[in-house]
Amino acid sequence: MSVTRTGAPVPKIAIVASEAEAAQAALADLERRYPTVSLDEADVIVALGGDGFMLETLHRHIERHLPIFGMHRGSVGFLMNTYAPENLFERLSKADTERLHPLAMQATTVDGVVHQALAINEVALLRQTRQMAKIRISVDGVQRMDELMCDGVMVATPAGSTAYNLSAHGPIIPFSSGVLALTPISAFRPRRWRGAVLPHKVTVTFDMLEAQKRPVSAGADFIEVRDVIRVEVRETRETSLSLLFDHEHNLEERVLKEQFES
C-alpha cells in the first residue's frame, strides 16, 4: 500500500467536477497529477465546483457513504476547501471530518399524493402566487402558531444556516449545537416574529390554510413539490454524510467566522 510523506495510507480517489470552465480545468490538472479510480472503487470523492455542485454531489452519491472533499472552483464555496493542486493526499490524510444529517421532508399535496425527499440545506415553503401564504405551525404535535401570513417559511440545518436561511435573516448555527432554525420568509403577521431555534430531534408540521386560494410549494434543496397542503420535516439520523475539510479551515471555524463578517 502506498503512503503519504506523513506515513498515512494513500486513499483511492474519484474526482467529479461541475461544468464550469474553472472546474473542468482543475479536473484535467488533477487527473494529470494523481491516479484516480471509478466511483465504485473510491475511498474518497474529490468534488470541484461551488456549493451548488457540492449539494448535487452529496445527493447523487448519498448511498455510497463516501467522504467528500470539495475544492472551490465555482461561485459560492462555503462548503468547499481552497483549491490547490499540490499535496492533495497529504491534505486528505490531515482533513477533519464533519458529519451531516439531512432533513426528511414528507409533503402531501391537495390531491392526496405524498412525496418524500431529503434536504441537506433546508426545507422551504414558498407561496406560488401573488397571494400571501397562510400556514399553521406545530412542533411535535403541539400547535405553536395558529396562522403565519408570509411569503414562506423554512427549516434549516446547520449546513444550510449560512445559505437561504441567512439571507432570510435566520440565525447562523454551529454544527455542534444540536439545533435547527425555523425561519419565516417575509412574515406579514405576526409582523415581529423572527422565527425559532428548535432541538434537532423535533418534527415540525406545516398545515396550509386556504390552500386552494393560496397555493404553496415545498422545496427540499432543489426538489420541489407544488400545491402542498401539509409538510412534515424532521432530521434523519439514519442518513449520515461526511464532508472533509482542511484542519485550519474546518466547518466549525467557518461558521464561527461567518458570524463576525460585516
Which of 231, 235, 212 lies closest to 125, judged by CA? 231
Which of 4, 46, 51 lies closest to 26, judged by CA? 46
What CA–CA distance (Å, rounded) separates 31 from 14?
10
What CA–CA distance (Å, rounded) separates 219 from 122?
8
Q: Which helix (H) or strand (E) holds 124?
A: strand 122-127
- Alpha carbon dihedral 207, 209, 210, 214, in 10-degree steps, equals -80
Say which of 29, 40, 43, 51 is annotated catalytic: 51
What CA–CA distance (Å, rounded) separates 137 from 202?
13
- Catalytic status, residue 51: yes
Contact (Cβ atoms closer than 8 angstroms) between residue 122 and residue 152 = no
Cell of 187: 412574515
DSSP code of residue 54: H
What residues contact residue 28 under an 8 Å CB cut-off, 6+ apart?
Answer: none
What CA–CA distance (Å, rounded) separates 196 from 155?
10
Active-site residue set: 51
